[in-house]
A and B are shown apart, each in its own frame.
Chain A
Amino acid sequence: MNLKNQLELMIAKKVLLVGNFGVGKTSLIRRFVLNEFSEDYISTIGVRVSKKVVTYKNEAIKLMIWDVAGTNADEKIPKAYFLGASAAMFVFDVSREETYVTLEDNLKMVKELSGLEKITIVGNKKDLLSKEELEVVVDKVSLQIDLLTSAKEDENVEDAFMELTAQTLK
């Protein structure tokens, strides 16, 4: 069986990255899929889908990662995007309070639209804050943050996607 056929037969799981614009969703995906990072900010229009095969508990899984265009605080994500989604990650920017100040409401909305019970919460751009400042952010956020990441420094990015992968199998 050639590689293409192998990929086609693999378990495919659709996952979404959502959150305010500019929080670094595309950067996280680029770091995870291509191991690249760019300081240039190009806002995503619509939805881009990237693929990456990951191994989780000895099983190869093809992740279909939907990079959904960033929204403003009260903007709704089209419900259609969530059809067939196995997991979703809500990304916020630890250096911009407006991206996590309404986290509870945003998460509630994502849960309603997707029908998913658990959403992975990730605070990105941890490289921009000191340890003490990060602690303040963690205190401010009322919900349990799954991981603090830095796409720029490649910190916890792999772990965040592995957490997301684990969610797809639950």
Chain B
Amino acid sequence: MIPAKIENVFIQVTTDYTGVITNIIAGKFAINEFILQELIYDSCPFLEGTLDALSLNETFLLEGMVIFSDEKEFNVDIELFKHEKSIDVLIHNRTNVYKIVDKLNQNRNDIFFIKREIAEKNIELEKLRKIADKANEEKSRFLAMMSHEIRNPLNAILGYAEMISSEKLNTKVAKYTKTLASAGKNLKVIVDDILDLSRIEAGKLALVSEQISIKKIVKNCKNDFKHLKTNEDVALVFSTSKKIPKFVLGDAVRIHQILANLISNAIKFTNKGSVKTSVKVLSETETEIKLIFEVADTGRGMSKEQGLKIFEEYQQNELNDNRIHGGAGLGLAIVNRLVKAMHGKVYVKSKLHVGTSFFVEISFAKTSKIVTSFKQKVIKEKEVNLKGKNILVADDDVLNQTIVAHILKEEEVTTTIIYNGLEAFAKLKAATFDVVLLDINMPNMTGEELMQQKQDFSSLNANTPFLAVTANTAKEDVERYLALGFSGVISKPYTKADFIQKIKTVFK
């Protein structure tokens, strides 16, 4: 590259006040553009209007002005000095970094456009996310509502099945009733699963962290499944390692749910052999212990591809699985979500026609203290007798009324049954009751509205315990009922034993 001569990178000219070039003093930069007796505005249009405004005897600097010369563009700095009759114009700093600046400028432009595109895409994504969230919320709301609506008739089905089975029946009818109750219970599991999944999806799953006994959870599972087991050809085996501490911090209900879902799934697909449930210690630190739960069956097993899909919702491996084995295919999806919520891991190992093992790894915080509240009060039911108690029942559903009346009659309770909140309000103003059982969704006045007017019937029922009998069992619903003054909630569908036990608790 030939270096530019100094005279080629600047030019100094003199003009009069009208902008006519009167002298070229030095330099040769853009020499062809600066012609004596011609206007300087042709080559320096930015000086038009500027020269007139200059102050006398003061240097004035204009930076980064664009000048064309020989069809090239230059960025230059201009220094101006206004004398009594003339103006000195020095054009210099012909920038040799123009190309680099141009390149940088282009890069800036590229970034600018990418940024704009990303911003636009983000807005679009945000809109789509909102639409998806709304659709998901709607779905969860719909599922929750439908599950609730199903629970009420289900309560009647299970209640009547229980009532019929307590009568003297011939073998055939007893068998039919048992099947009816079993189908009802299966339906309840499905409804509970749907509710659980919608709750998890809506981000409403709140895990508790309390002192729990893993061994006790496994023992409870053992009792539940031994009681439910129908296939004599399948042995149920449970074992827990001795190294497992007595207590860890966790959510007992959800751990039980994980195990119960896995065991129930294994039993469904095992015709002969065994379903073994074991818990072992995987690793341990001073503060944490990682446990591995394994549920192994000798069932039909599955292929690798099936194993990959098994934790998806509504997934059952064979087309007629849900017809033969029941269920909506939500159990493992729920297990998957629950384990993830506990920051754990769930995986499966399986061999076709040999069997399947599900593994769940979860870390638990250790706890040395034994909290006394953990030892829940065991209600000594024998001590409480409902005989002769005066109980008010408000429920608009005749079927539910019949079931409640039947159960309470067996306990020799004096029962007053009314159809809505308004009637209950009148009764409570007129007489004192030992317990009041209130349905929530009643015409005229809901159970909640009635409780809000508690002060109006406090003269006769200030200390009367109220129990909500409802299918609304979401955590926030229960909390709201308790805040309103309910002593507890009997959730539909209920068994006779649950129902009685719940009433007895309020007399403790």
Could you tell me which A residues sit within 8 Å of B by CB distance?
Answer: 8, 12-14, 21-22, 41-43, 45-51, 64, 66, 69, 78, 80-81, 83-86, 96
Contacts and interface: CB of A to CB of B under 8 A. Distances in A.
User: Is the contact region of chain A dominated by helix, strand, or loop, or is it mixed?
Assistant: mixed
A149 to B, nearest CB: 19
B45 interface: yes
B45 A64 contact: yes
Contacts of A80: 60-63
A96 B48 CA distance: 34
Interface string B50-66: 10111000001111111
Contacts of A51: 45
A81 B45 contact: no
A43 B109 contact: yes
Contact of A8 (B39, B63, B102, B113): B39
Contacts of A64: 45-46, 48-49
B60 A83 contact: yes
Contacts of B113: 41
B49 A47 contact: no
25 contacts: A8-B39, A12-B48, A14-B49, A14-B50, A21-B108, A41-B112, A43-B108, A45-B64, A45-B75, A47-B46, A47-B64, A49-B46, A49-B66, A64-B48, A64-B49, A69-B64, A78-B62, A80-B61, A80-B62, A80-B63, A81-B62, A83-B53, A83-B54, A84-B49, A84-B53
Contacts of B54: 83
A46 B65 CA distance: 5
Contacts of B60: 80, 83
A48 B53 contact: no
B102 to A, nearest CB: 7
B420 to A, nearest CB: 48
B182 interface: no
B239 interface: no
Given A49-B45, A69-B64, A96-B116, A84 B50 contact: yes
A13 B48 CA distance: 9
Contacts of A21: 108, 112
B101 interface: yes
A43 to B, nearest CB: 5
Interface of B: 39, 45-46, 48-50, 52-54, 60-66, 75, 98, 101-102, 105-106, 108-109, 112-113, 116
A45 B53 contact: no
Nearest to B19: A8
Contact of A45 (B45, B50, B66): B66
Nearest to B112: A22
Nearest to B61: A80
Given A13-B49, A21-B112, A43 B64 contact: no
Contacts of B61: 80
A84 B414 CA distance: 101
A99 to B, nearest CB: 11
A48, A83, A86 — which one has the most chain B CB atoms within 10 A of its CB? A83
Contact of A48 (B39, B49, B66): B66
A54 to B, nearest CB: 15
A120 B106 CA distance: 29
B50 A47 contact: no
**A8, A42, A46 interface centre (most CB from chain B within 10 Å):** A46
A46 B102 CA distance: 11
B316 to A, nearest CB: 48
Contact of B66 (A14, A41, A46, A84): A46
B104 to A, nearest CB: 10
A12 B49 contact: yes
Contacts of A46: 63-66, 75
A42 B106 CA distance: 8
Nearest to B46: A49
Given A50-B45, A64-B49, 8 more contacts: A12-B49, A43-B105, A46-B75, A49-B46, A69-B64, A78-B63, A83-B60, A84-B53
A84 B52 CA distance: 7
B66 A47 contact: yes
B61 to A, nearest CB: 6
Instruction: Report the 9 A-B pairs with minimum CB-CB distance, sorted nearest first.
Output: A46-B64, A84-B53, A14-B49, A49-B45, A49-B46, A84-B49, A46-B75, A48-B66, A83-B53
